[in-house]
Structure 1
Amino acid sequence: MTTLSDPPKGGFRLSMLINDTRYRSYTFQFIALVALICAFGFLGSNLVSNLQAAGLNISYKFLSEPAGYDINQRLIEYTSQSTHLRAAIVGALNTLLVAVIACFLATVIGVIVGVLRLSNNWIVNKLMGVYVEIFRNVPVLIWILIIMAVFVAVLPQPREFRGDDATASMVFDMFAFTGRGFYAPRPFFTAEWAAGSTGYLIVIALLIASFFGARTVAKNATVTQERTGDRPTTWYYTLAIWFVPLIIACVVMGLSWELPELKGFNFKGGIYARNSLIALTFALSIYTAAFIAENVRAGILAISEGQTEAAASLGLRPGRIMNLVVLPQALRVIIPPLISQYLNITKNSSLAIAVGYMDITGTLGGITLNQTGRAIETILLLMAFYLVISLSISAIMNVYNNSVKLKER
């Protein structure tokens, strides 16, 4: 009886790195990696030699020196005697503040506009189309300047709130919208152990815990529905998880409010948001929302009409069909380009200097660079900051994208 067996395997030879398809791709990748390392090494050595020839060296000691300038919008304590490092941190927080708020508003506006662009109402459909075309085809810097100019020209100045003949008044005696910025009540805690930022950190931790608690309740309800066919009522549990711990914490820490008051030529107290912050955030939101609207519209149109017809045959209303059937499936098409829009918002926030908003480009890449003359160091730090933020946004959105994509057996 004859038995068939595999031919004997020969030993490894160097020629196989080129001739054998199993190793050829690795060979080319290794060559490309070595070439890239050599190119970066050459550029780095050239930079160091040129700096030495000019009597310069790369040093970050300037970060510990006093900054010597003020920052008009800040989330943490800062004075002109603070270090350049703290000024950079204040600018980074200002950048993140604009990016987070603008991403949220752009998503909400973009989803609404994208859905309304598919409306059967001719007027609504065309109005949304005009909005998309206008904002997509005009540079975002123009919109930032236009909105800033409108705020300064239209909104009243603080002096117009003074006296019996005041031409402007506060909203509910708590909010003031002026040409210099917006003023709102500021929460603070009277308990000594919760004074300062401690109380705010406790509230943030409770909100994060409530988020995961609400998700756990929803998952348990889904498991029960899959097992029994009936979904238990959980809305009161969700409300309790969100509000009961928060209310108890606010009572224990002694929550109080500091209201803005007109003193002298300006308002004092409360939360102050400069008109540059509002204009920049609003412009980035409505500009990027036009692009997100097109992504949403494309995602909805990618869903077969048979899905909508099948849902309608079951008696679902159009609003429920959109929320329960169409949008969950459209997310698989919407999320990948949505990541790019979030990255664009973060990078476009560097245009803040056009309206005087001090983000990290204005602090570290602007005043600090001019005062210290450390152009290479500051630019490298700026590049590292935007790179880390962009990669973080991509990583978070990719995790969410993997959670909603179609799971194959």
Structure 2
Amino acid sequence: MIDFRSDTVTKPTAGMRAAMMTAELGDDVFQDCPTTNALQDWAASQLGFEAALFASSGTQTNLLAMMSHCQRGDEVILGQDWHTYRWEGGGAAVLGSIQPQPLAVQADGSLLLEDIVAAIKPDDPHFARSRLVVVENTIAGKVLSPEYMASVASLAKQHQLACHIDGARVMNAATKLAAEREQDVWQMARQLCQGYDTLSLCLSKGLGAPIGSLLLGSSEVIKRARRLRKMLGGGMRQTGLLAAAGLYALQHQVERLDDDHRHCQQLADGLTSLAERYACWQGKLRLQPVQTNILFCDVAPALAAELLPYLKQQGVLLSGSNYSHSGTQWHRLRWVCHLDLSAAAIARTLELLETFSKQQES
């Protein structure tokens, strides 16, 4: 099986399984799980925060961050396409009584600074109280620069707002930027986080752990988040089995993220080549530029209706959905590269796409 649906489908490596099976365990609700404490302390130190908290998912760590920064009736300013707004079941509003103020996301994945400023409410009982700005990095595989991240953090502080990073794939961003600027990846990650009050870091996406995310912030914020985690039913016990996987991922599986980025670019280059050589693709395929491990491409719905069953029959899985742009219908495919997809898997996928193209031409 060649599974491009998400980088959440990865299985623990042999080294990770060994770390899990030998992990020293304790009760994390009592804060005496040595392995969980080691994960939290190591991650906080590496990323420039005072403390960290292990939780079951990125949705939970984002919710803990928003509820830690905001009270009932407060407002969070975020992107219309952010995971925190669109893909987390409205948890901040439902469970935290927090008002979302979504803004348009620009083509590069950013929010305009002037849009953020315009969204900040005056101190008036007619309005929700603006309290928090959220930034997502990466967003749909796009990388926001440290300069942009710093400008948002500075703006937030100028207006007495807290600021949070949904950094589910922030290590992908750091890997991409570190390669471009010839810097250490952890140094770049710290730079991306500088000035932010909290960070949500997913361990189960590109980093390859089976379960879990971290919320990082000040000791005071993490203390509030720990209480909220208990209220939300997220207090787990012998979490060291899972924390060991997360610690192994951070210590052994960050540098290899560059492989995923390279494989994704190879996939994009192969699709571009097909579109140039086969008439069946011409005018029916549009590719977005690749920056990290995610490729989005739009395919004419009729062609997609033949392509997807063919790939599935050959053991290649994709996710996608129909949408309309400027009156034209498209099927958007999402290809996500990860540690369980080797160079051979990318080559095999391109061979299958070549065969499909030849069949369409015959």
Q: Shorter-chain TM-score: which interval?
A: under 0.3
Greater strand percent: which structure?
A: 2
Compare CA radii of gyration and give the structure with the larger one: 1
